[in-house]
Structure 1
Amino acid sequence: MNRDTSRDLYDRALDSLPGGVNSSVRAAPVPYPTFVRSGEDGHVVDADGNRYVDWVMGLGPLLLGHSLPDRVTSAIQSRTADGPMFGMPTELEVEHAEFVTRHVPSVEMVRFVNSGTEATVSAVRLARGYTGREKVVVMESGYHGAQESTLVEGQGEPSSPGIPASFAEHTLPVPFNDPEAAHEVFEEHGDDIAAVLVEPVLANKGIVEPEPGYHETLRDLADDHGALLVWDEVITGFRVGGLQCAQGKYGFDPDLTTFGKIIGGGFPVGAIGGKTEIMNEFTPSGDVFQAGTFSGHPVTMAAGLETLRYAAEEDVYDHVNGLGDQLRSGLEDVVEDQAPQYSVVGTDSLFKVVFTRDGERPRNGGDVGDASVERWNRVFRPQMQDRGIMLSQNQFESQFVAAGHTEEDVERTIEAYADAL
């Protein structure tokens, strides 16, 4: 497979972009990333004209695939023709917020922002302002965007240069699916904890599902100590659990929820949703400052709202979840026969094969980190790409099914896994 154009573009990019990319994960494939020229349905075409079945799907935002239905395209084009943006409210912001509050069980009010990172930054600030406390409990290996309050490793150490140690002191990491650790951190710091920030499914670390009772433990601890429970649904929102999101699937009622990706229909977006009493603490109704020039951007609102309306009316979730079931079932057969030490993980339209060493499904991010990460990244993924299958950039990132995928794409992918493994 000729990829000379991608190589040459990366060579050029290294002179003008740090690391040759605008987001770190994009540089992860070795020896250089694939530059994409176009997308169609469940496929992408790279800069050299090679065509792949695409399971990256923009790292999650593309629920419908690369070819948008006419009604979604028309909504986007119509809004673009009216003017790029105004710095003033539009009716679309209200309609989109009403759709979200109508379908997501815990959400009574919404504040739109511009990225998942901005959503979690604002949610943490809101939780601190509402409770008058400073500390935040997070899950080790959970991901909540590129923000100072959550880029913290075990023992409260910053995970990146540039983050003051004084910031990390207020972040308390605990292992996912470890109720004893959660109890311990609340016993020690309960009166100072503003919020527990958790993904319902660890979806940026190989896909780790919650064990029975774990989220109930976090809910009870937050309630008992006057802290807020914040669910980060940037990845799972409007993908796991359909229109009710993961909180509908698992039957939970968080105080705040962060969104991104699908809620913007493929355009830059983030959102914070939650209870009216808490959300009204945002300015201008309250004192917790939050603002953004591009928040509620009319083109993004049109894309996100029409995407969700289409998904609601056209059985999108039945399609993508059905293909997800077929993928995981087929991959389980392949793994059982050829690599029983590996694990097939995922739910709904998320899937992944994690190169575990003992066949046990990972319980937390540490288990995924202990898997054969470099084998997946450096040996397996390039083989899949040579076979025309585009997987996520590393073993940690989720892979996503979209409405543009077909059963033929699934069958071809399973065959490629069997060949590469």
Structure 2
Amino acid sequence: MNDDNSRDLYDRALSVMPGGVNSAVRAAIEPYPFFVQKGEGGHVIDADGNRYVDWVLGLGPLLLGHDLPEPVQAGIQQKASEGPMYGTPTEVEVDLAEFVVRHVPSVEKIRFVNSGTEATTSAVRLARGYTGRNKIVVMQGGYHGAQESTLVEGDHENPRPSSAGIPQSFAEHTLPVPFNDEDAVREVFEEHGDDIAAVLTEPILGNYGIVYPEEGYHEFLREITDEHGSLLIFDEVITGFRVGGLGCAQSEFGVTPDLTTFGKIIGGGFPVGAIGGRAEIIENFTPSGDVFQAGTFSGHPVTMAAGLETLKFAAENDVYEHVNGLGDRLRRGLTDIVADQAPSYTVTGTDSMFKVIFTREGPGPDSLEEQCPAGCRQDPTCPRYDYSPKNAGDVKNAETERWRRIFWGQMKEQGVFLSQNQFECQFVSYGHTEEDVEETLEAYKHAL
């Protein structure tokens, strides 16, 4: 593939942007990322005219793909033609709020913001303001945006900032525990229960290779937070309106959190974030309460129209049947390929999310019969149960460099665009086809 234009663009970008990018993960591709010119359906075309099957989809927001259906396109264009924004409320933000409240079990009221990071930042502040407590329990490897309260690594006994520029004193209020580890959660509550404002978790770890929860784990979190008067916050920036359909992942798992953060799909491909939850908690945001939150672009009419029309289209058409069906077909195909060519690797994902984690497990199970057929479900009866990743540390110990330095490039050469590293999700859209799935499975056969 020729990539002269992308190389020249990256050379220019290095002169005016740090690392040549505006989001760090985009620079993970070596020696330089390709620059996209446009999208079509489930594909992107780069600056050199190369066409790829796109399983990144802007890192998740594009449920409908790159070609928006006519009613969605029309709604966006109408709002854009009426003026950019106003600094005053508009009807469409009420319409979108009402739609979300009708469909998501935990949401009685909602506040729109401008990014997933802003949503989680505001949710943490709200939890602290509502409870009068300081500490937040997070999952190791869970990602909640570029914010000081969650850019923390280590464990609950020795938390430390994971980025320069964050004081150690900030990190001391964040308590990281391994995902799926009930004992670790019990330990932090025994030690800090009176000062834990909330447990913040993704329902499914989505920035660490897709790690499914053990059966009963979220029910346990619900029980222990109730017992100690803490809040349970689900970060559904990735899973919201993708896993579990319009009810989100919380409806699939049957656990109702106190607060939920949203992003990506709720804005239909435009910058967005939101915090929803019990009315008595959300009402603590200013102006009705004393937890300050504001934003010039919050509830932006074009974003609200994009989100509302996207979700309405998904509700009225076969969007979830289509994307979840293709996702299941992908994961089943990958499970067969991996069993034959790389039996130590793990296929993960659910609904329209998928990934192959390059796990290293030594000899592995004696037989792969009766394994999870379409992505790891943490099923104790599965022969791969003891070898599948249970937390972020397990994924980190996989062959992440092989995935990034060898496998990703081999897939690109075959016209398949996968997420930029071992850790990011991959997604299916309404714009993808069965042919895209078959082409991708063939590419995996050659690259693994």
| TM-score scaled by length of structure 2 | 0.94
Find the residue that maps to 2:438 and give its secondary structure. Answer: helix
Question: How far apart, CA to CA, are the structure 2 residues paired with 1:394 and 1:93?
Answer: 35
Question: How far apart, CA to CA, are the structure 1 residues paired with 2:34 and 2:399?
Answer: 23
Quick check: 1:183 aligned with 2:186? yes
Question: How far apart, CA to CA, are the structure 1 residues paired with 2:87 and 2:40?
Answer: 33
Residue correspondence of structure 1 range 82-97 to structure 2 within 5 A: 82-97=82-97
User: What is the match of residue 139 of structure 1?
Assistant: 139
User: What is the match of residue 355 of structure 2?
Assistant: 352
User: What is the match of residue 127 of structure 2?
Assistant: 127
User: What is the match of residue 446 of structure 2?
Assistant: 419
Question: How far apart, CA to CA, are the structure 2 residues paired with 1:333 and 1:217?
Answer: 34
CA-to-aligned-CA distance 1:258-294 (integer Å, 9 cap, x gap) = 0000000000000000000000000000000000000
Residue correspondence of structure 1 range 239-254 to structure 2 within 5 A: 239-254=242-257
Residue correspondence of structure 1 range 359-378 to structure 2 within 5 A: 360-378=387-405
> Amino acid of the residue matched to residue 384 of structure 1?
M
User: What is the match of residue 384 of structure 2?
Assistant: none
Asked if the contact 1:113/1:294 (under 8 Å) is kept, the reply is yes
Find the residue that maps to 1:410 and give its secondary structure. Answer: helix
User: What is the match of residue 212 of structure 1?
Assistant: 215
Question: How far apart, CA to CA, are the structure 2 residues paired with 1:54 and 1:361?
Answer: 26
Give the superposition deviation at 1:255: 0.2
Question: How far apart, CA to CA, are the structure 2 residues paired with 1:316 and 1:324?
Answer: 12
> Amino acid of the residue matched to residue 201 of structure 1?
I
Question: How far apart, CA to CA, are the structure 2 residues paired with 1:164 and 1:305?
Answer: 39
Find the residue that maps to 2:402 and give its secondary structure. Answer: helix
Question: How far apart, CA to CA, are the structure 1 residues paired with 2:323 and 2:396?
Answer: 28
Question: How far apart, CA to CA, are the structure 1 residues paired with 2:269 and 2:205?
Answer: 22
Asked if the contact 1:136/1:193 (under 8 Å) is kept, the reply is yes
Find the residue that maps to 1:7 and give its secondary structure. Answer: helix
Quick check: 1:81 aligned with 2:84? no
Give the superposition deviation at 1:333: 0.6
Find the residue that maps to 2:100 and give its secondary structure. Answer: helix
Quick check: 1:256 aligned with 2:283? no
Residue correspondence of structure 1 range 300-319 to structure 2 within 5 A: 300-319=303-322
Question: How far apart, CA to CA, are the structure 1 residues paired with 2:72 and 2:91?
Answer: 17
Question: How far apart, CA to CA, are the structure 2 residues paired with 1:220 and 1:181?
Answer: 15
Question: How far apart, CA to CA, are the structure 1 residues paired with 2:294 and 2:244?
Answer: 30
Question: How far apart, CA to CA, are the structure 2 residues paired with 1:222 and 1:28?
Answer: 37
Question: How far apart, CA to CA, are the structure 2 residues paired with 1:304 and 1:398?
Answer: 21
Question: How far apart, CA to CA, are the structure 2 residues paired with 1:58 and 1:296?
Answer: 21
User: What is the match of residue 437 of structure 2?
Assistant: 410
Report runs of 4+ in structure 1 exceeding 4 Å deviation: none
Question: How far apart, CA to CA, are the structure 2 residues paired with 1:4 and 1:221?
Answer: 56
Question: How far apart, CA to CA, are the structure 2 residues paired with 1:244 and 1:216?
Answer: 17
> Amino acid of the residue matched to residue 232 of structure 2?
L
Asked if the contact 1:54/1:390 (under 8 Å) is kept, the reply is yes
Question: How far apart, CA to CA, are the structure 2 residues paired with 1:82 and 1:113?
Answer: 21
Structure 2 unmatched runs, 5+: 365-386
Quick check: 1:202 aligned with 2:205? yes
> Amino acid of the residue matched to residue 141 of structure 1?
G
User: What is the match of residue 401 of structure 1?
Assistant: 428
Give the superposition deviation at 1:220: 1.0
Aligned residues: 421
Asked if the contact 1:345/1:361 (under 8 Å) is kept, the reply is no
Give the superposition deviation at 1:17: 0.2
Give the superposition deviation at 1:151: 0.3
> Amino acid of the residue matched to residue 164 of structure 1?
P
User: What is the match of residue 230 of structure 2?
Assistant: 227
Question: How far apart, CA to CA, are the structure 1 residues paired with 2:292 and 2:359?
Answer: 44
User: What is the match of residue 65 of structure 2?
Assistant: 65
CA RMSD of aligned residues (A): 0.5
> Amino acid of the residue matched to residue 347 of structure 2?
V
Question: How far apart, CA to CA, are the structure 1 residues paired with 2:128 and 2:150?
Answer: 14
1:271 to 267, 270, 274: 274
Find the residue that maps to 1:166 and give its secondary structure. Answer: helix
Question: How far apart, CA to CA, are the structure 2 residues paired with 1:74 and 1:216?
Answer: 42
Question: How far apart, CA to CA, are the structure 2 residues paired with 1:315 and 1:378?
Answer: 38
User: What is the match of residue 332 of structure 1?
Assistant: 335
CA-to-aligned-CA distance 1:350-374 (integer Å, 9 cap, x gap) = 0000000126221000000000000
Structure 1 unmatched runs, 5+: none
Question: How far apart, CA to CA, are the structure 1 residues paired with 2:49 and 2:116?
Answer: 32
1:283 to 283, 286, 309: 286
Give the superposition deviation at 1:70: 0.7
User: What is the match of residue 15 of structure 1?
Assistant: 15
Quick check: 1:384 aligned with 2:387? no
| TM-score scaled by length of structure 1 | 1.00
CA-to-aligned-CA distance 1:82-109 (integer Å, 9 cap, x gap) = 1000000000010000000000001000
User: What is the match of residue 24 of structure 2?
Assistant: 24
Question: How far apart, CA to CA, are the structure 2 residues paired with 1:34 and 1:344?
Answer: 27
The percent identity for this pair of structures is 74
Find the residue that maps to 2:261 and give its secondary structure. Answer: strand
Question: Which of 212-221 and 138-147 deviates more?
Answer: 212-221
> Amino acid of the residue matched to residue 312 of structure 2?
R
Question: How far apart, CA to CA, are the structure 2 residues paired with 1:86 and 1:181?
Answer: 48
Question: How far apart, CA to CA, are the structure 1 residues paired with 2:89 and 2:276?
Answer: 18
Question: How far apart, CA to CA, are the structure 1 residues paired with 2:344 and 2:198?
Answer: 37
CA-to-aligned-CA distance 1:31-67 (integer Å, 9 cap, x gap) = 1001000000000000000000000000000000000
